[in-house]
Each structure stands twice: as structure tokens, then as C-alpha cells.
Structure 1
Amino acid sequence: MAAEQSEELSNKKQQIREQAHANRNAQENKDELSREIVARCMSLPEYKNAQTVLFYIDVRSEVRTRNDLVNALSSGKKIVVPYCVDGELELFHLENYDELAIGMYKILEPKEELRSVSSKKVDVKDIDLIIVPGVAFDRRGGRTGHGKGYYDKLLEHARPDTPLVALAFECQMFDEIPMQEHDVFMDKVVTEKASYDGLGRK
């Protein structure tokens, strides 16, 4: 029975993912809306109070963060970006936009030659705010990603007091995302219309 329920849940998640992708791809004015969403995020107390912030760098049709990274870099905060190695996310202290280059899958990532510099490596426990991407969300902070679990693995090791703030277009919001035991609820989901208070990791 448990296996059947798990399969049913996976199928439901996959359907939501497909719908969310279609919605997001069809979303107009992505640049403009992304700027509104990131500005809303940056006005949150969670952002203002954080010394060290983990930003994702957008890929494909995600809410675009790259346009605002330059502002973030000049804000006096320590800005950190993730990159993927063997299915795990590594964290990089970004000090200048020029430290990024187009990597595999046409994703903007820290340059290869800088990754081994010890001062550039960051532990997730040093992060005061994690800005999380995702495919679909609900108003409780329920989230589903691409199903590869990169962020789930990373968030397992984050400090319990580190807020998790997801960025999404309103078209990525659903009534309910099926959540399993290992899934993590966001503290907030920020869209162009609202900042939804999630359940977090209570």
C-alpha cells in the first residue's frame, strides 16, 4: 500500500511539474516581473538582517536573479552562489559578476579555475538566508523542484534558524503540492503579487 501511495504521489508531483513548466514558459514579461519579485524579496526583514545570502542563478524560465546580482554585490552583504558537482551543490563566495562564466547546460556558474580557491568555498552553515528556486509551490511553502533533490540535500545541512525564501511567478502557485516526509517547506514564497508565509522547517 505504501509503495502504491508513494507512486501516486510521484505521479501527482510530475503532473504539477509539467503544468508549472508550461505556465512558466508561457509567462510574459519575465524580466520585468522578476525584478519586482527580487525587489520584494530584498525588502524583507529576512534579507535586510542577513549578512551572508545564498542566491541561485536562474536557468531557463526561472525567476531571473542575474539582473539583480550586481546590486546585491554592491550591498555590503556576502553573496554566495551554488554550482553542481556530481549531483551535489557546492557554494562559492561571489565578489564580482566577472567571476561567472557559461558552463555546462548553458548555466552561468563560477569559473572553473576559481572553484579550488579556498577563500571562495563557503559552508552552508555560514549562510543567513537561502533564496531557493523551484518548479511549483503552494501557499503553505510546499515546494517541488525538478525531482533531482539538489536543494533538498543542501537544505538538510542548513542552520535551523536560516530562513528559506523561494522566488516564483504567481503562475507557479498551486492549491497544494503533495509533500513527503523528506520534503522541506519554505518560510516564504515571494511572487509578483504577494509574499506567502510558509510553514518552514517547524
Structure 2
Amino acid sequence: MMQQTPEMNSTALKTAKTQLRSLMKQRLASIPPESIASQSGLTSLQQPGQIPPYVNAKNVAVYLSMPHGEIQTDLIVRDALSSGKRVFIPYLHKSGLPAADGPTRLMDMVSLRDVEDYEALQRDKWGIPSVDAATVNQRQRSVGELGGERSEDASLDLILLPGVAFDTDPSTGVIRRLGHGKGFYDYFLHRYTLAASEQDRAPGGRPSVLLYALALQEQFLPPSSEHTVPVGPHDQPIDGVFLGDGELRMSPTDR
């Protein structure tokens, strides 16, 4: 696979990401469902319930998982709702932007009311529980823009992200993430950064929201791997990743 260098142009970067996604797709397809279920239980029950970022978070955004190939988030959603947290989940909608001005589809985070609301979600063609568009205007949103209409933005304390592959930058120790290639989270985080108020910013100007990913053991590339996660200037580093063996890998706190 192509390795990233500081001079890697956009075409080479795109090619490197495509190659790694293809490799990981094959690797993830071979993981038995029992292993995914076991790893999801370890990640969900042992780690988030024990660390301050999750325990202290009042507003948590979390992806809703596909049936296969990634950590299942059902237990996390239920735990967060039952413990009194406000839970936000992804909602995809048309952006209304011309193709030349930005993505045609946007991802926002919209609130769940309770466990019953979560259980009533219908699965989409990928098997992911999805919000009914008819209910969106009854929900709190972050970032609060839909169809050109603004609503009060809900600030988030913690976002639990999906991903395809992860590793540690050998020079900085930062955890790097390769997404699915649609750019939904990258663009959401860009918009969230623009919308964040001064009180919602950490020293240095970045939003104070914490970014943690959930990953199967097979998705984390060790230093001995011949492959690395290629990143560009617009790829958002993350604060840490919960692995399916119960381990938590974190980026340096002074990044």
C-alpha cells in the first residue's frame, strides 16, 4: 500500500485511502459474528462506564451500528439513556447546496427521547436504525440547521465515532482514523467547529467536545503492520479509541 508522506497530493491520498478501505473490508468480512458480539460487550460495558469522558458527559452523540463489521452500539445507547444522558444520533438529509458548493447530503445529530423512541426506529437499507424524517422537527439538533431553518444548537460533550481503520502516528502519538469515505463526520465536525460558541471551546480554539472511536481489535493497525492510516489536512485527529479487547488507546492530552 502507498505510504503517506508530507508531499502526498490529493490524488495519491485518495488512492491510499481506497486501498486501505478495500483491505479492511476483506478483513472485517472474515470476523465471526460471535467475535463482534463479544468485542462489543467488552467495549460497551467495561470501558465507557469506567472513564470520566463518558461518565461525566451529559450530551452524547453516538453512531448506530450496521449489523456486521463494526462494534455494535446498542448497549451504549441503552446505557446512556437509562443513566439520564441526552443521546444524539446521526440523521442524514439533503443539504440543498449545489454540487459545486458542497456535499449534497449532510449529517446532523438529533436527539432520542427515551429507550422506547430508540426501539421504534426503523432500519434503513444498510440495516442501520434511522430517524423518521417526519419526527426531526420534534427533536433537538446539533448542528441546528435543516432545510434552511435554524434551531438552537445543542452542544455535545462526547461523540462516539465509527471508522474503518485506526493507528497511532509514530511521530506524535496521535490516534488516526480512516472513515468510510463519505465525509459525513468530517463535514459535521467542520460545521460544529464553526457553530461552537466561545464557552464551548477548549484552549487553542478547538471545540471542547471529545472525539472517541469504537473499534474491533482487527481495525487497529499495530506499529508492526505494513499498512498505515493515510490522513490529509482536513482529517480530524481523535482523542482516543475504545478497542474490542477492553483497551483504551488515547492521543496525547497536549495535542
Q: Shared fold (TM-score greater than 0.5)? A: yes
Aligned partner (choices 188, 210, 235) of residue 163 of structure 1: 210
List per-residue Cα deviations over 1:12-35 (Å, max 9, x = no partner).
211211122222222231111111
Query: 2:3: which partner in 1?
Result: none
Question: What is the one-letter code of the residue matched to 2:231?
Answer: M
The range that moved more, 152-161 or 75-84, is 152-161
1:68 paired with 2:49, answer no
Task: Tell me what 1:14 maps to.
Answer: 18
| Distance in 1 between residues matched to 2:134 and 2:176, nearest whole Å | 37
- Could you say if the C-alpha distance between residues 35 and 6 of structure 1 is closer, same or farther in structure 2, counting changes exceeding 3 Å? same
Structure 1: state its 5+ residue gaps: none
- Asked whether 1:180 is paired with 2:232, we answer yes
SS across alignment from 2:90: strand
1:131 corresponds to: 160
Q: Report the AA paired with residue 145 of structure 1.
A: G
Distance 2:7 2:213 in 1: 30
2:44–2:75 CA contact under 8 A, matched in 1:
no
Are 2:40 and 1:34 aligned? yes
Could you tell me how far apart the structure 1 residues matched to 2:112 and 2:43 are? Answer: 21
Q: Which amino acid aligns with 2:180?
A: H
Matches within 5 A, 1:63-102: 63-86=71-94, 87-96=105-114, 97-102=118-123
Distance 2:252 2:230 in 1: 14
Matched, 1:51 2:98: no
For structure 2, the residue ranges without an aligned partner over 5 or more in a row are: 1-5, 95-104, 144-153, 169-173, 197-206
Q: Percent identity?
A: 28
Q: How many residues align?
A: 199
Query: SS of the residue aligned with 2:87?
Result: strand
Q: Is the 8 A contact 2:110 2:142 kept in 1?
A: no
Distance 1:199 1:164 in 2: 13
Aligned residue for 2:48, secondary structure, equals: helix
Structure number with higher helix proportion: 1
Cα offset, 1:83, TM superposition: 1.7
TM-score normalised by L of structure 2: 0.71
Q: CA RMSD in A?
A: 2.2
